[in-house]
Amino acid sequence: MNASLLPTGSAYFLTQETATPERHTLSVLVDNEPGILARVVGLITARGFNIESLTVSETEHDKRLSRITLVTVAVPKTLTQIKLQLERLVPVHKVHDLTAEGAALERELALIKVKGTGEHRSETLRLADAFRAQVVDATTESFVFEVTGKSSKIDSFIALMVPLGLVEVVRTGLAAISRGPEGM
């Protein structure tokens, strides 16, 4: 018998953990002070969860506040624990689960270097135009494109650049904000 289903003197042994991990975007408003990023990241990674995306920037200079936007995958029960523990950290002001709160706006920026010679050069430019990628550097042998949008859009553009001579990719990580008139 499965060890998690053995009787323990409680009826709770009858339920099996069937929740599947979900991808969530968390927005955390913190004091901009040394060590806070390490504490937030440590809290999540100590529980064995990977951070898929992480961005941090000062958002209110006068108040010395920064916003940490992170994406992780966890079962709902664990995600609730993570949020509650984040809220208890002293320099944390607010924690929002943008995924649970509804449709949030999510964008990412990528710089993508592609070889661009011969007949591939015109095809590369045509596809970049279709994806609204901006040429931020060009030589006779290569391009560097700036692409912004949903992560899936950037993934698609990168996949199309591979056979055309993809050299290198740099991504910022996800920036996200909730919709509507309310702020964090």
The answer to whether residue 8 sits within a structural domain is: no
Clarify whether residues 119 and 159 are in a common domain.
yes
The answer to whether residue 82 sits within a structural domain is: yes
pLDDT for 127 equals 97
Clarify whether residues 89 and 65 are in a common domain.
yes
Burial label, 180 (beta-carbon count in 10 A; 0-12, 13-18, 19+): exposed
pLDDT for 98 equals 94
Number of domains in the chain: 2
CB 96 within 8 A of CB 123: no
Q: Is the pLDDT reported for residue 7 higher than 80?
A: no
Domain that holds residue 161: 105-177
Clarify whether residues 95 and 25 are in a common domain.
yes
pLDDT for 155 equals 97
pLDDT for 75 equals 85
Q: Is the pLDDT reported for residue 4 higher than 60?
A: no
Clarify whether residues 93 and 136 are in a common domain.
no
pLDDT for 21 equals 86
The answer to whether residue 58 sits within a structural domain is: yes
Q: Is the pLDDT reported for residue 118 higher than 80?
A: yes
Residue 71 to residues 22, 41, 54, 105: CA-CA distances in angstroms? 10, 11, 7, 13
Higher-confidence residue of 1 and 168: namely 168
Clarify whether residues 155 and 112 are in a common domain.
yes
Tell me the sheet residues that pair with 146. Answer: 111, 134
Percent above pLDDT 90 for the chain: 63
Clarify whether residues 28 and 98 are in a common domain.
yes
The answer to whether residue 129 sits within a structural domain is: yes
* Interval 44-66: pLDDT, tens: 888 888 899 999 999 988 899 99
The answer to whether residue 9 sits within a structural domain is: no
The residue-averaged pLDDT of 8-37 equals 76
Tell me the sheet residues that pair with 138. Answer: 143
The answer to whether residue 14 sits within a structural domain is: no
The answer to whether residue 6 sits within a structural domain is: no
Q: Is the pLDDT reported for residue 14 higher than 70?
A: no
The residue-averaged pLDDT of 36-42 equals 92
The answer to whether residue 117 sits within a structural domain is: yes
Note the helical H segments in the chain.
36-45, 76-88, 98-101, 119-130, 151-165
